[in-house]
Structure 1
Amino acid sequence: MKLYFNYLLILFKSQMQYRASFWLLSLGQFFVPFSVFAGLYFLFERFGQIQGWSFYEVALSFGIIHMAFAISECFARGFDAFSSLVAGGDFDRLLVRPRSTVVQVMGSKFEFTRIGRLAQSLIVLVWAIASLPIEWTAVKIVTLLLMIVSGVFIFTGIFMLAATLCFWTIQGLEVANIFTDGGREMAQYPLNIYQKWVTRFFTFVIPFGCVNYLPLLHLLDKTEGSGIPYMLAPIAGILFLIPCLLVWQIGVRHYRSTGS
């Protein structure tokens, strides 16, 4: 991890060489998601609620999932841009270094301008929390933190799986955006508003439901019986990274260079 933080520091210094550009891009990242949130607001302004969910309850889900995506996009951006390493033959250099390829790829690119998107998500999250009559306890605070961490792990895992495809396709496939950008847009709403097959897929295959829906029921006291399974549901999102790492290792073993 010392190597990872060295990468972090070097890339941060390089991006701060053009501070005006950095802050303008961060400002843009702050305002762009507001258009999505505005659409959410007007939707509830027109219909009042969706499947029994109020505006602030969905805003809480919105803030959590967008915060997780912003953090993941900042610190795991190397996987999203991995195709350029494969196409240019630069991944060969990473293989001969005595360090994990995961750490090196993650450290190859950081998007610190995503701090604007993170700030916007934090504002929505705080606003939603302040507007909901939630009786906060230590357990619920831990659950909220687990939801954010779990979301970061899921998005990082999806970025990793998309990068693994590059070992066979050279270039990244746009279809992966269905599960990154599409997953973010889908997961900003509680899963029970979708059809059952969608809910099952994004609970048992890609466990977004363990980030926003199941633990959200616990936070809002909408559970029946013990709330422990709902509270621990985000752990499934964290464990999602394990098969992603295994698939990545399979891809690395099958890598045959680009010949450049």
Structure 2
Amino acid sequence: MRLYIKYLSIHLKSQMEYRTSFLLMSVGQFFIPFMVFGSLYFMFQRFGELQGWSFFEVALCFAVIHLAFSLSECFARGFDSFSSLVAGGDFDRLLVRPRSTALQVLGSKFEFTRIGRLLQSVIVLVWSVSNLPQIWSLPKLLTLLLMIANGTIIFTGIFILAATFCFWTIQAIEVANVFTDGGREMAQYPLNIYEKWVTRFFTFVIPFGCVSYVPLMYVLDKREGSMFFPMVITFGGVLFLIPCLLIWRFGVRHYRSTGS
């Protein structure tokens, strides 16, 4: 952790050297998802509800998934831009260092300008929670925090899988965006509005259902019963991350230098 914090400190200092650029990029990042949320707002203004879900309930789902994606983009950006390390031969240098390659790649790049997206997601989160009085209990607020952490881990796992393909393809494959950007757009709505096979795939294969559906049902009192299962299922992201790291290790063992 000391090494990771050192990486983080170095990148923060380098990005803050150009503060005006950092501020402008952060403001731009604030407005990028603004239009998406605007379309969500106007849709509910027109139709009132979405299969039994109110505006503030879906807004909560929106805030959780975008907050998780922004955190992952900020702190796991190294995997998202990993193809440049492979194509330039710089990954060879990481292999001779006495530290985990996953840790080094994780600390190779941070996008602190994502604070703009984080800020917008936090604003939407606070606004939606303040209009949903049933959430105001310690177990539900704790579940909400676990949902955000779980989503961050899931997006990080997808970035790791996409980076692993670079060992064979050199460049990142665009299909990975189906599960990162596409997954974010899909999971910002409750999963039960989609076809059953979509719900099952994004619950048992890529477990966005552990972020934006099952625990959300408990938090919003749409599911009766014990709080134990909804809180436990928020750890589904950890179960997803473990095979992602194993596949990463498999890719590292089969890596062949680009010869650069």
Shared fold per TM-score greater than 0.5? yes
Shift in alpha-carbon separation, 1:217–1:89, aligned structure 2, 3 A: same
Q: Which ranges in structure 1 are unaligned for 5 or more consecutive residues?
A: none
Secondary structure of residue in 1 paired with 2:136: coil
My pick for the range that moved more, 227-236 or 153-162, is 227-236
Q: Mapping of 1:92-171 within 5 angstroms?
A: 92-171=92-171
d(CA) in 2 for partners of 1:3 and 1:36?
37
CA RMSD of aligned residues (A): 0.8
CA offset at residue 101 of structure 1? 0.4
Q: C-alpha separation between the residues in 2 aligned to 1:28 and 1:170? A: 31
Paired residues for 1:213-232 under 5 Å = 213-232=213-232
Give, in angstroms, the shift of residue 224 of structure 1: 2.8
Displacement of 1:132 after TM fit?
A: 1.2
**Distance in 2 between residues matched to 1:178 and 1:129, nearest whole Å:** 29
Distance 1:113 1:136 in 2: 31
Matched, 1:10 2:47: no
TM-score w.r.t. the length of structure 2 is 0.98
Structure 1 CA distance for aligned equivalents of residues 225 and 66 of structure 2:
30
Q: Secondary structure at the match of 2:130?
A: helix
Residue number in structure 2 paired with 1:259: 259
Report the TM-score when normalising by structure 1. 0.98
Q: CA deviation at 1:226?
A: 2.6
Q: Residue 182 of structure 1 aligns with which residue?
A: 182
Q: Percent identity?
A: 72
SS state at 1:206 partner: coil
- Deviation digits for residues 27-74 of structure 1 (CA, Å, limit 9, x no counterpart): 000111110000100111111111100000000000000000000000
SS of residue paired to 2:134: coil
Distance 1:205 1:135, change over 3 A: closer
Once the 2 structures are TM-superposed, how far is the Cα of residue 135 of structure 1 from its aligned partner?
Answer: 4.5
Task: Tell me the CA shift for residue 117 of structure 1.
Answer: 0.3
Structure-2 separation of matches of 1:81 and 1:204:
27
5+ unaligned residues in a row in structure 2: which ranges? none
Q: Distance in 2 between matches of 1:238 and 1:189?
A: 22
The C-alpha deviation readout for 1:55-96, integer Å capped at 9, x for no partner, is 000000000000000000000000000000000100000000
- State the secondary structure of the residue aligned to 1:134: helix
Query: Which one-letter code corresponds to 2:9 in the other structure?
Result: L
Maintained 8 Å contact 2:135/2:141: no
CA contact (8 A) 1:65 1:148 kept: yes
CA contact (8 A) 1:149 1:238 kept: no
